[in-house]
Amino acid sequence: MPVTAASTTAATTLTARALLLDMDGTLVDSGPAVERVWRAWALEHGLDGDQVLQVVHGRQGFASMAILLPDRPMEQNIEENARMLVLETVDTEGVTAIGGAADFLAALSLGGLPHALVTSADDALARARMGAAGLALPPVAVTAEHVTRSKPDPEGFLLGASLLGVAPADCLVFEDSEAGVAAGLAAGMRVIGVGAATTGYGATVSVDTLDQVTVTATASGTLTLTVTP
């Protein structure tokens, strides 16, 4: 059953069979930690920190480095990314939950509703940030170790759908970054964007916080999401 959407002036209703959730910027506000680590990296390489931060959101570190330092061997990017992941994992100061994320995840878990985390972080970083934000890690999680290509490639979302046993067209993605929205759309999925900027990225519908999203399930397994303005 394809994901469908119907809009009214009061709300938007979408249906799906499973939800795929990004972490940073979608469930977890890790902005301060991301900025500290990447500004230090920018300074080390003589790059403008503001320009670096415009590139890194939503991507795995090695993919961001490849954009920012295009002449550098990928092996060096991968090695340096591993070092940065360690630094990010221990730096959880200021990491908090996005508005509505705790209640949203709790409702999905309590209702036994199919969902998975799909993040560019590795397993250790995902656990550290979700823990620092006071959020439970979903039982199904696609992290950096499980994919060979970074967002905006759809590999992670397609794997998440496969692990849940749901066709891509029946999945709904939650994302905040341009790369993440592009990955969800490339996977043939519709996207609920978290943050006003996601409208410009092509998200199906955008919200400011997850408090605006309510999920209910039918006996047939269909999930109905009501998005209020």
Pick from 88, 84, 136: nearest CA to 110: 136
Among 24, 122, 153, 176, the one annotated catalytic = 24
> For the range 79-88, what are the long-range contacts, defined as Cβ-Cβ under 8 Å and sequence gap of 24 or more?
84/37, 84/41, 85/61, 85/121, 85/122, 85/124, 85/125, 85/144, 87/37, 88/33, 88/34, 88/37, 88/121, 88/125, 88/128
Read out DSSP for 41-75?
HHHHTT--HHHHHHHHTTS-HHHHHHHHSTTS-HH
Among 22, 29, 170, 176, the one annotated catalytic = 22
The tokens of 218 are what?
């039918």
Phi, psi angle pair for 11, to nearest 5°? -160, 165
Q: Which residues contact 29 (CB under 8 A, 6 or more apart)?
A: 95, 96, 97, 98, 133
Judge whether 153 counts as a catalytic residue.
Answer: no
Asked if 172 and 16 touch (Cβ cutoff 8 Å), the reply is: yes
Separation between Cα atoms, residue 3 and residue 37, nearest integer Å = 38
Judge whether 48 counts as a catalytic residue.
Answer: no
What is the set of active-site residues? 22, 24
